[in-house]
Amino acid sequence: MELLHLVATPRTNGSNTLRISKVFIEGLRKKYPELKITTLDLFQTEIPAMAGDKIETKYLIMQGGNLKENFTATWTEIESFIGGFMRADMYLISAPMWNFTIPFVLKYYIDTIVQPSYLFKYLEDGTPVGLCDGKMVVIKTSGSDYSNPPLSYLDFHEPYLRGIFGFCGITDIHFISAYNMDITPEIREQSITSAIHDQVPGILAQL
């Protein structure tokens, strides 16, 4: 069994999100000693851009073109990222909130891997069908608290990830959320401790 861990924070030391992720991974290792963990640090990885001949190929695939004749060498780069994603049985995303949504590198990665006929397809009547499965856990931290009004409407992070991965067939998604990271050090510690003790065990039990 393989877990793909997508790291979407550049703060290797002192990352709030990675502190919680570390405890979660330790718990997962205890539960599944054979688990293979592949880490993809998105801030340290050169991700191919959906531009140039790659965007041409994407449209060709979407419009039912002949893949073999028009397949460009650069598309194999995209396929290797898709393959890395599809191979996993379980997913962990460590992503702080940046400007009410996910950090740009995670969006960039999603733009690279979410391709028709790989992660989803359309039926003849246009209905989209997800081609992925597996369980996903998202560890999310933010400076403020979005769990209730008046700020809850500004949380585009959780709905977006549920939306895009649900569209691709991954509907079993759990969020571990630690709010108020940037108010005072005491409040941050309280919130991280609460995520570790009150949320992590419950999610691990469901995996």
Ligand X SMILES: Cc1cc2nc3c(=O)[nH]c(=O)nc-3n(C[C@H](O)[C@H](O)[C@H](O)COP(=O)(O)O)c2cc1C
Q: Rule CB under 6 A: which residues touch ligand X?
A: 9, 11, 15-18, 96-100, 141-144, 181-182
Q: Smallest gap, in angstroms, from Cβ of residue 26 to ligand X?
A: 17
Q: Smallest gap, in angstroms, from Cβ of residue 194 to ligand X?
A: 14
Q: What is the rounded CA–CA span in Å between residue 89 and residue 87?
A: 7
Measured from the CB atom, the residue of 40 and 82 that comes closer to ligand X is 40
Q: Smallest gap, in angstroms, from Cβ of residue 176 to ligand X?
A: 12
Q: Which residue in the block uniquely carries the two structure tokens 């695939």?
A: 61
Tell me the CA end-to-end span of the chain in Å, nearest whole number: 12
Measured from the CB atom, the residue of 100 and 120 that comes closer to ligand X is 100
Q: What is the rounded CA–CA span in Å between residue 125 and residue 74?
A: 31
Q: What is the rounded CA–CA span in Å between residue 146 and residue 207?
A: 26
Measured from the CB atom, the residue of 15 and 74 that comes closer to ligand X is 15
Q: Smallest gap, in angstroms, from Cβ of residue 23 to ligand X?
A: 14
User: How many other CB atoms are found less than 10 A from the CB of residue 134?
Assistant: 18
Map residue 27 onto helix, strand or coil. Answer: helix
Q: Smallest gap, in angstroms, from Cβ of residue 5 to ligand X?
A: 14
Measured from the CB atom, the residue of 22 and 54 that comes closer to ligand X is 22
Measured from the CB atom, the residue of 96 and 134 that comes closer to ligand X is 96
